[in-house]
Amino acid sequence: MSDFEPSDCPFCSLPVERILEANAQALAIADGFPVSAGHTLIIPRRHVVSFFELTEEETIDVYKLLCRMKNRLDATLEPAGYNIGINVGTVAGQTVKHVHFHLIPRYSGDVAEPVGGVRNIIPGKGRY
């Protein structure tokens, strides 16, 4: 757990105009620091730090919203692929202590060699 309180959480006090879509348990926003066009965050409404704290119902609603946003991005930006990521813990790169899912559209040629995908978070481990 963390000393981080919901009152300090940027995801617990999002302006309504930032919300792209929502359902009962989750909402979607454009990433404030996108790594590619269409980079989207799926955020559970309940303030929890870790993916492993989510209920089954929250996980299902996050998944449904993730799929809806993927379909929306397919229709508008036509990416060639996606990376989906969750950072759990400071050593894994989590900076906002409210679990969130990155839906990152990928485009042909956006990196020289995409082999390994998310395995590339640790330098030298992506190629196998």
The catalytic residues are 100
Chain-centre distance for alpha carbon 95 = 13
